[in-house]
Chains A and B, each alone.
Chain A
Amino acid sequence: EIVLTQSPGTLSLSPGERATLSCRASQSVSSSYLAWYQQKPGQAPRLLIYGASSRATGIPDRFSGSGSGTDFTLTISRLEPEDFAVYYCQQYGSSPVTFGGGTKVEIK
Protein backbone atom coordinates (compact mmCIF):
# COMPACT_ATOMS: atom_id res chain seq x y z
CA GLU A 1 0.00 0.00 0.00
CA ILE A 2 1.07 3.59 -0.55
CA VAL A 3 2.17 5.32 2.66
CA LEU A 4 1.63 9.08 2.78
CA THR A 5 3.84 11.15 5.09
CA GLN A 6 2.70 14.68 5.91
CA SER A 7 4.97 17.39 7.22
CA PRO A 8 5.22 19.27 9.39
CA GLY A 9 3.06 17.67 12.04
CA THR A 10 2.10 21.08 13.37
CA LEU A 11 2.40 24.49 11.72
CA SER A 12 2.14 27.56 13.97
CA LEU A 13 1.27 30.67 11.97
CA SER A 14 -0.56 33.98 12.30
CA PRO A 15 -3.61 35.08 10.31
CA GLY A 16 -2.54 36.58 7.01
CA GLU A 17 0.55 34.38 6.71
CA ARG A 18 1.20 31.78 4.03
CA ALA A 19 0.94 28.09 4.89
CA THR A 20 2.78 25.38 2.96
CA LEU A 21 1.88 21.75 3.75
CA SER A 22 3.73 18.76 2.33
CA CYS A 23 2.55 15.25 1.50
CA ARG A 24 5.10 12.68 0.35
CA ALA A 25 4.14 9.26 -1.01
CA SER A 26 6.14 6.05 -0.63
CA GLN A 27 5.60 5.36 -4.33
CA SER A 28 4.28 7.31 -7.27
CA VAL A 29 0.59 8.26 -7.07
CA SER A 30 -0.97 7.27 -10.38
CA SER A 31 -2.55 9.99 -12.48
CA SER A 32 -2.04 12.50 -9.66
CA TYR A 33 -4.98 10.94 -7.85
CA LEU A 34 -4.34 12.96 -4.71
CA ALA A 35 -6.85 14.92 -2.62
CA TRP A 36 -6.66 17.28 0.35
CA TYR A 37 -9.23 17.59 3.14
CA GLN A 38 -9.77 20.05 5.98
CA GLN A 39 -11.13 18.86 9.30
CA LYS A 40 -12.20 21.03 12.21
CA PRO A 41 -12.86 19.67 15.72
CA GLY A 42 -16.09 17.69 15.95
CA GLN A 43 -16.71 17.93 12.20
CA ALA A 44 -16.39 15.61 9.24
CA PRO A 45 -13.57 16.20 6.77
CA ARG A 46 -14.30 18.58 3.89
CA LEU A 47 -12.86 18.14 0.40
CA LEU A 48 -10.59 21.01 -0.66
CA ILE A 49 -8.54 19.72 -3.61
CA TYR A 50 -8.77 16.69 -5.92
CA GLY A 51 -6.60 15.57 -8.81
CA ALA A 52 -3.68 17.21 -6.98
CA SER A 53 -4.62 20.74 -8.10
CA SER A 54 -8.34 21.10 -8.79
CA ARG A 55 -10.32 23.05 -6.22
CA ALA A 56 -13.59 21.53 -5.06
CA THR A 57 -16.83 23.45 -5.46
CA GLY A 58 -17.04 26.45 -3.17
CA ILE A 59 -13.42 26.35 -2.00
CA PRO A 60 -11.78 29.82 -1.90
CA ASP A 61 -8.93 30.47 -4.30
CA ARG A 62 -6.49 31.07 -1.43
CA PHE A 63 -6.27 27.24 -1.34
CA SER A 64 -4.11 25.69 -4.04
CA GLY A 65 -2.61 22.28 -4.64
CA SER A 66 0.40 21.24 -6.66
CA GLY A 67 2.75 18.35 -7.26
CA SER A 68 2.97 15.01 -8.99
CA GLY A 69 4.58 11.61 -8.61
CA THR A 70 5.55 11.35 -4.95
CA ASP A 71 5.62 14.99 -3.78
CA PHE A 72 2.54 17.12 -3.29
CA THR A 73 1.89 20.49 -1.65
CA LEU A 74 -1.15 22.31 -0.30
CA THR A 75 -0.69 26.08 -0.07
CA ILE A 76 -2.95 28.51 1.75
CA SER A 77 -1.89 31.91 0.45
CA ARG A 78 -3.18 34.05 3.34
CA LEU A 79 -4.56 32.35 6.41
CA GLU A 80 -8.02 33.37 7.52
CA PRO A 81 -9.22 32.66 11.09
CA GLU A 82 -11.45 29.84 9.82
CA ASP A 83 -8.49 28.04 8.18
CA PHE A 84 -6.96 26.87 11.45
CA ALA A 85 -7.69 23.15 11.37
CA VAL A 86 -6.15 19.77 10.56
CA TYR A 87 -5.39 18.95 6.93
CA TYR A 88 -5.15 15.45 5.46
CA CYS A 89 -3.89 14.26 2.09
CA GLN A 90 -5.37 11.14 0.48
CA GLN A 91 -4.28 9.04 -2.45
CA TYR A 92 -7.01 7.27 -4.39
CA GLY A 93 -4.99 5.97 -7.32
CA SER A 94 -4.48 2.49 -5.96
CA SER A 95 -6.17 0.20 -3.49
CA PRO A 96 -6.20 0.50 -0.59
CA VAL A 97 -7.01 4.19 -0.48
CA THR A 98 -4.71 5.75 2.12
CA PHE A 99 -4.50 8.98 4.09
CA GLY A 100 -1.59 10.89 5.51
CA GLY A 101 -1.31 11.40 9.24
CA GLY A 102 -2.39 15.03 9.05
CA THR A 103 -0.91 18.49 9.59
CA LYS A 104 -2.39 20.72 12.26
CA VAL A 105 -2.36 24.43 11.40
CA GLU A 106 -2.60 26.34 14.67
CA ILE A 107 -2.67 30.00 15.60
CA LYS A 108 0.70 31.32 16.68
Chain B
Amino acid sequence: QVQLVQSGAEVKKPGASVKVSCKASGYTFTSYGISWVRQAPGQGLEWMGWISAYNGNTNYAQKLQGRVTMTTDTSTSTAYMELRSLRSDDTAVYYCARGGTVFNWFDPWGQGTLVTVSS
Protein backbone atom coordinates (compact mmCIF):
# COMPACT_ATOMS: atom_id res chain seq x y z
CA GLN B 1 0.00 0.00 0.00
CA VAL B 2 1.03 3.59 -0.55
CA GLN B 3 2.85 4.84 2.52
CA LEU B 4 4.91 7.83 3.62
CA VAL B 5 7.11 7.34 6.70
CA GLN B 6 8.72 10.38 8.28
CA SER B 7 11.74 10.80 10.51
CA GLY B 8 11.46 11.21 14.26
CA ALA B 9 10.85 14.17 16.53
CA GLU B 10 13.45 16.92 16.76
CA VAL B 11 14.30 19.56 19.37
CA LYS B 12 16.22 22.55 18.08
CA LYS B 13 17.46 25.87 19.46
CA PRO B 14 16.41 29.17 17.89
CA GLY B 15 18.57 29.98 14.89
CA ALA B 16 19.34 26.33 14.11
CA SER B 17 18.20 24.28 11.12
CA VAL B 18 16.15 21.09 10.89
CA LYS B 19 15.88 18.55 8.08
CA VAL B 20 12.90 16.19 8.04
CA SER B 21 12.77 13.13 5.80
CA CYS B 22 9.80 11.39 4.21
CA LYS B 23 10.33 7.92 2.73
CA ALA B 24 7.79 6.78 0.16
CA SER B 25 6.80 3.22 -0.69
CA GLY B 26 4.09 1.41 -2.61
CA TYR B 27 4.12 3.59 -5.73
CA THR B 28 6.44 4.97 -8.40
CA PHE B 29 8.09 7.85 -6.54
CA THR B 30 8.92 9.91 -9.62
CA SER B 31 5.31 9.90 -10.87
CA TYR B 32 4.12 12.22 -8.10
CA GLY B 33 5.08 15.30 -6.16
CA ILE B 34 5.39 15.77 -2.42
CA SER B 35 3.91 18.67 -0.51
CA TRP B 36 4.86 19.71 3.01
CA VAL B 37 2.26 21.00 5.46
CA ARG B 38 2.75 22.09 9.06
CA GLN B 39 0.43 22.40 12.01
CA ALA B 40 1.30 24.47 15.07
CA PRO B 41 0.00 23.16 18.41
CA GLY B 42 -3.79 23.45 18.51
CA GLN B 43 -3.86 25.27 15.18
CA GLY B 44 -4.87 24.60 11.58
CA LEU B 45 -2.95 23.42 8.55
CA GLU B 46 -0.40 25.56 6.69
CA TRP B 47 0.97 24.59 3.28
CA MET B 48 4.72 25.09 3.06
CA GLY B 49 5.50 24.09 -0.48
CA TRP B 50 5.74 21.34 -3.09
CA ILE B 51 8.44 19.50 -4.97
CA SER B 52 8.21 17.39 -8.08
CA ALA B 53 9.88 14.02 -7.55
CA TYR B 54 10.17 13.79 -11.35
CA ASN B 55 12.39 16.81 -12.03
CA GLY B 56 12.93 18.57 -8.70
CA ASN B 57 10.86 21.64 -9.55
CA THR B 58 9.67 23.44 -6.45
CA ASN B 59 6.96 25.89 -5.41
CA TYR B 60 7.37 27.41 -1.94
CA ALA B 61 4.98 29.42 0.19
CA GLN B 62 6.02 33.05 -0.02
CA LYS B 63 6.33 33.50 3.75
CA LEU B 64 8.97 30.74 3.90
CA GLN B 65 10.96 31.73 0.80
CA GLY B 66 14.64 31.92 1.67
CA ARG B 67 14.31 29.71 4.77
CA VAL B 68 13.00 26.46 3.32
CA THR B 69 14.52 24.00 0.86
CA MET B 70 12.81 20.86 -0.42
CA THR B 71 14.76 18.11 -2.14
CA THR B 72 14.31 14.51 -3.19
CA ASP B 73 16.56 11.47 -3.52
CA THR B 74 15.06 9.25 -6.19
CA SER B 75 17.51 6.42 -5.42
CA THR B 76 15.87 5.96 -2.02
CA SER B 77 12.38 7.38 -2.79
CA THR B 78 12.84 9.94 -0.04
CA ALA B 79 11.83 13.58 0.14
CA TYR B 80 13.45 16.09 2.47
CA MET B 81 12.39 19.43 3.90
CA GLU B 82 15.00 21.68 5.48
CA LEU B 83 13.98 24.77 7.46
CA ARG B 84 16.67 27.23 8.55
CA SER B 85 16.89 30.08 11.06
CA LEU B 86 14.33 28.40 13.28
CA ARG B 87 12.13 30.53 15.54
CA SER B 88 9.82 29.54 18.37
CA ASP B 89 6.80 29.95 16.10
CA ASP B 90 8.20 27.22 13.84
CA THR B 91 7.28 24.73 16.57
CA ALA B 92 4.80 22.44 14.85
CA VAL B 93 4.07 19.00 13.51
CA TYR B 94 5.43 18.79 9.96
CA TYR B 95 3.68 16.50 7.48
CA CYS B 96 4.64 15.32 4.03
CA ALA B 97 1.84 14.34 1.68
CA ARG B 98 1.71 12.91 -1.83
CA GLY B 99 0.29 15.06 -4.60
CA GLY B 100 0.51 15.09 -8.38
CA THR B 101 1.30 18.58 -9.51
CA VAL B 102 1.35 21.54 -7.15
CA PHE B 103 -2.38 21.85 -7.95
CA ASN B 104 -3.47 18.60 -6.40
CA TRP B 105 -5.19 17.10 -3.39
CA PHE B 106 -2.99 15.34 -0.83
CA ASP B 107 -3.24 11.59 -0.32
CA PRO B 108 -1.81 9.93 1.67
CA TRP B 109 -0.05 11.86 4.41
CA GLY B 110 2.96 10.89 6.47
CA GLN B 111 2.51 10.33 10.19
CA GLY B 112 4.00 13.73 11.05
CA THR B 113 7.21 14.90 12.69
CA LEU B 114 7.13 17.14 15.75
CA VAL B 115 9.75 19.88 15.62
CA THR B 116 10.15 21.82 18.85
CA VAL B 117 12.13 25.05 18.82
CA SER B 118 13.16 26.08 22.31
CA SER B 119 16.12 27.64 24.01
Residues of A within 8 A of B (CB): 33, 35, 37, 44-47, 50-51, 56, 88, 90, 92-102
Contacts and interface: CB of A to CB of B under 8 A. Distances in A.
Given A98-B47, A102-B44, A92 B112 contact: no
Contacts, number: 58
Nearest to A1: B62
A97 B35 contact: yes
Contact of B109 (A45, A50, A96, A101): A45
Q: Is the interface of A mostly helix, strand, loop or mixed?
A: loop
Interface string B84-119: 000000000001000100111111111110000000
A69 B8 CA distance: 40
A90 B44 contact: no
Contact of A99 (B44, B104, B107, B112): B44
- Among B45, B62, B107, B108, the most chain A Cβ lie within 10 Å of the Cβ of B45
A56 to B, nearest CB: 6
A10 B29 CA distance: 38
Contacts of A100: 44
B109 to A, nearest CB: 4
